[in-house]
Amino acid sequence: MTRYLLIPLLFLTLLCSSCGCSQPEISLYDLFDQVDSSPPVFLSATMLNQNTAMLSFNESIDKNSVSLWCEHNSVASFTVMDKTLTLSLAQSLSLATSLALEGRVEDKRGNSVQFCIELWAKNNTPATTLINEFTTKGSETNPDRVELVVTSRGNLAGLTLYAGVADDWTDRFVFPDRWVERGTYIVVSFSKGEQNAAWYTSEQQAGLSSNNGCLSLAMSPEWTSPVLDAVVWGNMSTSTFEGFGSASLLAQVNSLFQSGHWNSNESKKAVDSNATTATRSFCRDRLIDTNSCDDWYVCATKGATFGSLNATDRYIP
């Protein structure tokens, strides 16, 4: 009986040995290397109204893994749909205010990511505005200022004026909850000095870049917020960083050019800053908006008119 059992066992052993010689080895390392071990990537957060936010990730999220926390408020409920997490706050945010939200989520394989973001209340009736006048070589009596003009009525809440762009700025101002009518002029001071009571003041009061720089106006402080307007200026003589003077400004201008909010990424196509002073301001020409240097001129000496219609007299060297 033993002899009959040994024969098939011997045959099976030889068969396995033969197969092993002709087949590649199974690699456990390669097998496990195919398993997703990367955490989800947080992509963006957008407020849909004053108490609902939508968070986006680069892969599907496990609903049971979601943990959310915020101070002075709470998350009343949330839903997960594939790569999107939508949450409702227990208390609505007031316009022009923000809330810090912390959270943790996992993908379908248990890889987790923690995040801390700032949510800004959604302004559903924003005013339409343009950058209309500005100076960059301010003095104690005439500080650096930027004027906006309202082209269609609405609320200013959350509109954000940057010295730079949303993801790279040196100063900014986030507008408060204020309803404005068409034709209203709004002034923001960007440096210390004599201030008009009607002006707003920027966060840092550090002044604008005198010779080479840019301004941008966004719908809200959220870093993915749409840009509404922008302007780039330069002295036409700087030789470093393609004529912009810094890697930061070069990147800012490229960002505005790629998004279609400035028509060139060449320094020679910036608005010429050489003729400007504390009282000779950059002025937009009759609200023309082609996202180019052709929209701008420099007013005559002492011709700056912050808070009212731009002066028509132009500086002649």
The radius of gyration of the chain's CA atoms, rounded to the nearest angstrom, is: 29
Closest C-alpha among 291, 89, 91, 120 to residue 219: 120
Give the span between the Cα atoms of 105 and 252, in whole angstroms.
32
Tokens 């008009």 correspond to: 196
CATH of 42-120 among 2.40.110.10, 2.60.40.1220, 3.50.50.60, 3.40.50.300: 2.60.40.1220
> Does residue 22 carry a pLDDT above 70?
no
Residue 108 in contact with residue 37, Cβ under 8 Å? no
Over residues 28-57, the pLDDT tens digits come to: 444 455 667 899 999 999 999 999 999 999
pLDDT of 107:
95
- Tell me: the pLDDT tens digits for 234-258? 999 999 999 999 999 999 999 999 9
Token pair listed for 172: 């900014």
pLDDT of residue 224: 87
CB 157 within 8 A of CB 95: yes
Structure tokens at 263: 């028509």
CB 311 within 8 A of CB 297: no
Identical fold for domains 42-120 and 128-298, yes or no, is yes
297 vs 280: CA distance, rounded Å? 10
> Cα–Cα distance between 92 and 49 in angstroms, integer?
9
Domain segments of the chain: what residues? 42-120, 128-298
Residue 16 has pLDDT above 90, yes or no: no
Cα gap 219→137, rounded to integer Å: 27
Q: Are strands 179-180 and 271-272 parallel, antiparallel or unpaired?
A: unpaired
pLDDT tens for 171-227 read: 999 999 999 999 999 999 999 999 999 999 999 999 999 999 999 999 999 988 999
**What is the 8-class DSSP label of residue 157?**
T
Strand segments (E) across 223-290: 227-234, 271-272, 282-284
Strands 282-284 and 128-134: antiparallel
Task: Residue 296: count other Cβ atoms within 10 Å of its Cβ.
Answer: 20
List b or e across 154-165, with b for residues whose CB sees 16 or more CB atoms inside 10 angstroms.
Answer: bbbbbbbbbbbb
Q: Is the confidence at residue 65, as pLDDT, over 50?
A: yes
Pick the CATH number of 128-298 from 3.40.50.2300, 1.10.287.3510, 3.30.9.10, 2.60.40.1260: 2.60.40.1260
Distance of alpha carbon 137 from alpha carbon 298, whole angstroms: 13
Q: What is the overall mean pLDDT for the chain? A: 91
Q: Inform me whether the pLDDT recorded for 130 exceeds 70.
A: yes
- What is the per-residue DSSP string for 41-88? -EEEEEESSSSEEEEEESS-B-GGG-EEEETTS-EEEEEEETTEEEEE
287 CB-near residues (< 8 Å, 6+ apart): 130, 132, 149, 151
Cβ atoms 157, 97 nearer than 8 A: no
Closest listed residue to residue 174, CA positions, set 120, 116, 230: 120
Task: Tell me what pLDDT residue 15 has.
Answer: 38
pLDDT mean over 83-98: 97
